[in-house]
Amino acid sequence: MIVQFLQHLLILIFAIQSHCATSPFSILHSTPSLSLSVLDFNATASGLCYDTHHIQSTIDACATAALPNTTCHVIFPPGKYLTATIHLRSRVVLNITKGAVILGGTKLEDYPEQQERWYVVLAEDVEDVGVIGGGQINGQGLEFVTRFDEVKNVMVSWNSTGRCLGDECRPRLVGFVGCKNVLVSGVKLNRPAYWCLHLVRCQNTSIQDVSIYGDFNTPNNDGIDIEDSNNTLITRCIIDTGDDAICPKSSTGPVINITATDTWIRSKSSAIKLGSASFFTFKGFVFNNLTIFESHRGLGFQIRDGGNVSDITFSNINISTRYYDPSWWGRAEPIYVTTCPRDNSSKAGSISNIKFINITSTSENGVFLSGSGGGFLTNLKFINVNLTFKRWTNYTDGLLDYRPGCQELVNHDSAGFMMEHIDGLHLENVNVKWSGHEVESWNNPLDFRPATVNNIILQDFHSNTYTS
Ligand SMILES: *[C@@H]1O[C@H](CO)[C@@H](O)[C@H](O)[C@H]1NC(C)=O
Ligand SMILES: *[C@@H]1O[C@H](CO)[C@@H](O)[C@H](O)[C@H]1NC(C)=O
Ligand SMILES: *[C@@H]1O[C@H](CO)[C@@H](O)[C@H](O)[C@H]1NC(C)=O
Ligand SMILES: *[C@@H]1O[C@H](CO)[C@@H](O)[C@H](O)[C@H]1NC(C)=O
Ligand SMILES: *[C@@H]1O[C@H](CO)[C@@H](O)[C@H](O)[C@H]1NC(C)=O
Ligand SMILES: *[C@@H]1O[C@H](CO)[C@@H](O)[C@H](O)[C@H]1NC(C)=O
Ligand SMILES: *[C@@H]1O[C@H](CO)[C@@H](O)[C@H](O)[C@H]1NC(C)=O
Ligand SMILES: *[C@@H]1O[C@H](CO)[C@@H](O)[C@H](O)[C@H]1NC(C)=O
Ligand SMILES: *[C@@H]1O[C@H](CO)[C@@H](O)[C@H](O)[C@H]1NC(C)=O
Ligand SMILES: *[C@@H]1O[C@H](CO)[C@@H](O)[C@H](O)[C@H]1NC(C)=O
Ligand SMILES: *[C@@H]1O[C@H](CO)[C@@H](O)[C@H](O)[C@H]1NC(C)=O
Ligand SMILES: *[C@@H]1O[C@H](CO)[C@@H](O)[C@H](O)[C@H]1NC(C)=O
């Protein structure tokens, strides 16, 4: 009886899931039943007066008037729209047309009271929502710089309320929090004051043909932060920004299923970074056909809080990494896979079943793989990987970077692959070459402490020097 009951229950759950599967995305991609222009709601489009109320009225009217199971589009014709936080509603899609710019306000009173709701565009607990069109959302991030500095800008802190400490008290640009079925397509997201596009506890998000420009010298200018969210697709994007470009984080729940393809990235920190907030599982990510240009780190795992990571594949990726000022996390590693407890109160998380296939890189430092002890880093595969090492900036090398937390920065000669505490490492058709005279201090193509690295398979591993 119990078995039969369970079987019925499973069939029921399955039926409900497949029932939901097709409808939501078709709503977002089908023609809207209604389109309303913000100009018809008396927006000035001047960029000088606040259009917040006019935009919000259009969104609210759209949400009320849309027919069931359809969307309503809010059209922004060309012009500049200065605004405080605007709130998306279910089944409302903003169409920011080419030539239209939504300008985020630069005053504390432009944003809601709670710091976690500081976004220019905010969607909370809604479904079937989107931001599309060829126009842009601009956070006016440069207005938040108190001192320009080529190493790292000094930023304002809206900490006067006392609810927020330090220099990270600044608004993000676009946030989807607790949403289902999200589409971000065709828009430019420019100059966020802090993080740019933030997904929190979302299900089913598609981010396509989006370009993100954050100031290269501004800290915390992350591109896309995927926090506690499942089923995220990123494709045909350009992300050129100061801080991490694509950054999955797990703070209150797992991050499952990310596919990121056909995307170009430059970052003064990591192009791809898992962590460092890593309290829950990361699983089922595919990164394919990416170009990573002159970034401080290429593909990075910064696991520090006990969450476990598995089944991640990187394929067909072209990387160049270089040194920037060490105040930015990253040490020019093309590939960086680390797990260690952040501090005494943290646990180590495991990293397993990770593949790197068809990767080429030119970089100022080698690959760094560190499991920190205890069998936390297992089953890594590198297949068809060409790594070229040379130096072209004047920054000093010779440091292993365990930040944040753990052992911080540790002196150690650079190597092609620096490896410790790993169980199961398979290198197949891996070519390593380095410029002989520029990297004299590099004595090791493979640098590892045998007692901490088990089950290494080297198949077609080639190492050469060259001069150019
Ligand atoms: C998300 O998409 C998947 C696959 O298309 C589907 O199974 C699931 O029901 C969707 N979730 C929601 C909340 O619509
Ligand atoms: C727009 O302004 C006109 C003229 O002041 C007014 O009649 C109209 O009601 C306004 N429309 C909205 C939607 O507020
Ligand atoms: C809306 O879609 C749901 C799910 O497909 C369906 O059950 C419902 O009948 C639809 N409502 C209308 C008014 O079409
Ligand atoms: C956005 O609105 C403009 C003006 O109505 C229209 O030409 C364009 O096709 C719309 N864009 C999308 C992606 O629907
Ligand atoms: C606010 O931030 C500034 C700059 O970071 C700092 O000097 C000041 O101590 C902070 N004050 C509070 C209350 O956090
Ligand atoms: C993501 O999927 C996991 C596993 O099914 C689930 O526990 C979690 O609640 C999901 N997250 C969201 C935001 O739906
Ligand atoms: C992740 O993707 C797999 C394969 O498409 C799917 O079976 C699974 O349900 C997805 N997980 C979540 C939490 O949506
Ligand atoms: C890879 O992505 C680029 C865009 O970055 C695109 O132009 C190219 O067609 C993609 N290649 C393949 C094989 O899909
Ligand atoms: C990670 O895996 C270990 C070993 O299976 C388990 O004890 C731990 O609870 C997992 N951590 C999380 C956050 O799920
Ligand atoms: C690596 O280099 C070899 C020899 O130049 C080349 O045949 C191969 O296609 C390259 N592989 C990748 C993934 O770039
Ligand atoms: C790797 O590259 C080879 C040769 O270009 C190609 O046949 C293979 O499908 C690629 N593998 C993946 C996982 O993309
Ligand atoms: C490195 O330092 C030399 C001498 O100070 C200088 O001429 C050169 O421009 C510097 N190169 C770079 C890339 O900064």
Does any domain span residue 129? yes
Does any domain span residue 19? no
16 pLDDT above the threshold of 80: no
What ligand is nearest to the CA atom of residue 464? 10
Kindly give the distance from the C-alpha atom of residue 257 to the centroid of ligand 7, in angstroms, as a whole number. Answer: 6
CATH code where residue 65 lies? 2.160.20.10
Whether residue 265 is found in the same domain as residue 233: no
Q: What is the pLDDT of residues 181-195, one digit of tens each?
A: 999 999 999 999 999
Contact of 308 with 275, CB cutoff 8 Å: no
Does any domain span residue 248? no
On average, the pLDDT of the chain sits at 92
- CA 62, CA 81: separation in Å to the nearest integer? 18
**pLDDT band, residue 18 (cuts 50/70/90):** very low
Angle among Cα 294, 296, 302 to the nearest 5 degrees reads 140
Q: What is the pLDDT of residues 139-161, one digit of tens each?
A: 999 999 999 999 999 999 999 87
Quick one: pLDDT at residue 94?
98
Whether residue 226 is found in the same domain as residue 361: no
**pLDDT band, residue 468 (cuts 50/70/90):** low
Whether residue 376 is found in the same domain as residue 423: yes
Does any domain span residue 250? no
What ligand is nearest to the CA atom of residue 386? 10
Whether residue 239 is found in the same domain as residue 264: no
The residue to mutate among 69, 90, 128, 180, having the most atoms of ligand 3 within 8 angstroms of its beta carbon, is 69
**pLDDT band, residue 7 (cuts 50/70/90):** very low
Whether residue 179 is found in the same domain as residue 299: no
Does any domain span residue 81? yes
Contact of 175 with 123, CB cutoff 8 Å: yes
Domain count, the chain: 2
Whether residue 377 is found in the same domain as residue 347: yes
Quick one: pLDDT at residue 2?
41
Between 331 and 466, residue with greater pLDDT: 331
Q: Which of 243, 278, 310 is the last residue of a domain?
A: 243
Does any domain span residue 4? yes
48 pLDDT above the threshold of 60: yes
Whether residue 388 is found in the same domain as residue 278: yes
Q: Which of 195, 212, 243 is the last residue of a domain?
A: 243
Whether residue 235 is found in the same domain as residue 348: no
Whether residue 153 is found in the same domain as residue 234: yes
Share of the chain above pLDDT 70, in %: 94
250 pLDDT above the threshold of 70: yes
Pocket of ligand 10 contains residue 429 by CB under 6 Å: no
Quick one: pLDDT at residue 440?
72
Q: What is the pLDDT of residues 289-302, one digit of tens each?
A: 999 999 999 999 99
Quick one: pLDDT at residue 26?
64
Whether residue 4 is found in the same domain as residue 146: yes
- Full residue range of the structural domain in which residue 356 is found: 257-468
Q: Which of 243, 271, 302 is the last residue of a domain?
A: 243
Q: Residue 465: what residue type? A: T
Share of the chain above pLDDT 90, in %: 85
Does any domain span residue 142? yes
Q: Whose CA is nearest to atom 11 of ligand 4?
A: 133
Query: Atom of ligand 8 at shortest distance to CA of 262?
Result: 2
Pocket of ligand 2 contains residue 41 by CB under 6 Å: yes
